[in-house]
Every structure is written in C-alpha cells, then in structure tokens.
Amino acid sequence: MASVAQSNRTLDRIISSIGDLPASPAIVSSLMSLTADINANLNTICKTIMVDQSLVARVLRLSNSSFYGRAKEVYTLREAIILLGFKTLRSLVVASSTHTLYQGVSDRRFRDALWEHTLAAALASRLIAQAINHPGVEEAFLAGLMHDIGKLVLMQKIPDQYQAVLIAAEQTGRTHVELEQEKLGFDHTEVGRLLLQKWAFPRLLVQAVADHHHPQGPDERPIPLAFVVNVANTLAGWKISSAEAIAGTVPEMPSQAAVLGFDQGRLEEVRAQLAAQFAAEKDLYRAAERA
C-alpha cells in the first residue's frame, strides 16, 4: 500500500496532467440552458456550437447518419439542429465532450464497457429524475455520464496500477472503491471530484460525482443528485441489453432507492424503460462518439 504522501503526489500528478475538457464546459453549460428553452433562438445556438469546430463536424455527421434515413444530405448546422431537435443536440454535445478522454485509453474492452456503463447510468439517471419530478433532469443525465470519469482517467494515466485493481476486483469480488483505496490510497470518486472542480462544473454536479457511492443525507430538497446517480449506477449494472435480462428477474433493490420513494415495482418500471431506451439510443450515441 502506498503512503499518504505518495498517494497525494500521484493524485496531484494525475489531475494536473489532464487538460481542458475538449468541448469546453462553458459551451456545454450554455448549450444546456439554451436548448432547454423550446423558443430558444436558433441563431444563438448555432453561434455557440460554431465556437467548437469538432462539435460542428459531429453534429453534421450525426444528422447525416443512416439513423435518420435522410434522402438529401444536410449541409448546414442550422438544418442539422432542426433535424436532430434540441434534446438530442444537448445530449450529443455533452457526450461529445468526453469523447477524446476515451480515445486516450488503449484497453479497448475496458473503454467500451465503461462507455456503455456510463451511457446506461446517464439514461437511468434521467429516467429516475423524471420519475421523482426532480428539477434537474438534464443535470442528472450529465452527472450519470460523468460519474465514473475518475476510472477513465486512472486507466489513462496509471494503466498498470489500475489494471491490477480491476483484476483484483474480478478475482475477489470486492468493490472497485475498496481496492482503489487499498492499492492507490484514493478512489475514482476523488479523482472525479478534483477533475470536475478543475473544469469548473457546477457544485451540484461535482457533489453528485463525488458522493455517488455514498450519498449523504438527504435532509435537503430537492434530493441530492448523488442519490439519483447511486440508484442509476445499480440499474445500469444489471444486464440491460440482453433479451433474457429484460425478461428476467430484478436483483434486490438498492437501499438508496427507498430514499427516492421507489418500491420494487416502480424500480422495475424504470428498469424496463431503461432497457428500451438504451437499445434505441445506444447506436445514436455511438455514431456521435465516432463522428
């Protein structure tokens, strides 16, 4: 086990070597609020996206993908946004913003599994937030998408050490958090917290990522997003993409679900919605990620 001083040095080195978020958080957050308004000005949205050329390319590429079965090609950003709709655009922008971080990880199996897991957790967070009438539905999606970003960073920056954590988890059945603490002296929630703070994400999102394995409270209203992400994380872990899983029995309800006012039946409803939505949207995001 690493000493405290050693662990702190490793953590500092990891965080300072990560650059800016590719699509800057400023673009992401202004687009999130702009596209939340159905009457938002299309010109303003176009201008905001045009700041980031790789984002423009992705939006155009996605709108021309076979997914939308267009007869005629889409050439302008304006047309593309109208075709995709604000909701899809917003999620695409956020998903795109993590794109290059994934590219930095060479272990393909890990990368694909984590990508699928975080997309499932993001969709689940959104569904849960909608089900409990949480005011931050899109923030929940974003928190779900970012919740395990610390794992991605650890795999990118200290691949050998992190592989050892993953192997130990597989062999012993112990949790990642526990083994990360033991072998590194810190865990992926701490890496996520420091990184999102560095990128100036809103405090609520930083907290959701930092606390997703141990949500605190909740004495606050609305319920902290960490609870939403915690339950979404469990739902995302159930095999949602295979047919047997969809038809199969639901594992035991996580205790945090009760805090959200969910019983087993309600959770099962959300899980079924998640399975359908994940199957329908996976290719859309994959197209966005590869564009």
**Which residue, 148 or 211, is less far from Fe ion as judged by CB?**
148
| Binding-residue pattern over the window 261 to 280 for Fe ion, x denoting contact by CB under 5 A | --------------------
**Which residue, 48 or 233, is less far from Fe ion as judged by CB?**
233
Distance (Å) of CA 170 to CA 117, 146, 152, 227? 17, 23, 18, 26
Under a CB-based contact definition with an 8 Å cutoff, are residues 120 and 112 in contact? no
Dihedrals phi, psi of 108, to nearest 5 degrees: -65, -40
**Which residue, 56 or 169, is less far from Fe ion as judged by CB?**
169
| Binding-residue pattern over the window 127 to 156 for Fe ion, x denoting contact by CB under 5 A | ---------------------x--------
Binding Fe ion (rule: CB under 5 A), the pick from 88, 233, 234, 256 is 233
**Which residue, 64 or 234, is less far from Fe ion as judged by CB?**
234
Query: What is the smallest separation between the CB atom of 42 and Fe ion, expressed in angstroms?
Result: 36
Subset of residues 21 to 60 that bind Fe ion, contact rule: CB under 5 A: none
Which stretch in 48-56, 75-83, 95-103, 231-239 sits in contact with Fe ion by CB under 5 A? 231-239
What is the token pair recorded at 179? 């083994």
What is the token pair recorded at 177? 């958090």
Kindly state the number of chain residues that form the binding site for Fe ion, as judged by CB under 5 A. Answer: 2
Which stretch in 39-47, 197-205, 226-234, 274-282 sits in contact with Fe ion by CB under 5 A? 226-234
Dist CA 106 CA 102 (whole Å): 9
Dist CA 86 CA 45 (whole Å): 10
DSSP class of residue 220 equals: S
What is the token pair recorded at 273? 């919605």
| Binding-residue pattern over the window 59 to 78 for Fe ion, x denoting contact by CB under 5 A | --------------------
Under a CB-based contact definition with an 8 Å cutoff, are residues 248 and 183 in contact? no
Residue type, 74: V
Query: What is the smallest separation between the CB atom of 4 and Fe ion, expressed in angstroms?
Result: 22
Dist CA 266 CA 246 (whole Å): 15
Which stretch in 68-76, 136-144, 225-233, 269-277 sits in contact with Fe ion by CB under 5 A? 225-233
Distance (Å) of CA 22 to CA 10, 246, 253? 23, 36, 37
H or E stretch including 94? helix 86-97
Query: What is the smallest separation between the CB atom of 177 and Fe ion, expressed in angstroms?
Result: 7
* 211 lies in the site for Fe ion, by CB under 5 A: no
Under a CB-based contact definition with an 8 Å cutoff, are residues 208 and 199 in contact? no
Query: What is the smallest separation between the CB atom of 280 and Fe ion, expressed in angstroms?
Result: 21
DSSP class of residue 75 equals: -
Query: What is the smallest separation between the CB atom of 9 and Fe ion, expressed in angstroms?
Result: 23
Which stretch in 44-52, 232-240, 245-253, 279-287 sits in contact with Fe ion by CB under 5 A? 232-240
Query: Chain centroid to CA 279: how far?
Result: 17
**Which residue, 49 or 114, is less far from Fe ion as judged by CB?**
114
| Residues lying near Fe ion in the complex (CB under 5 A) | 148, 233
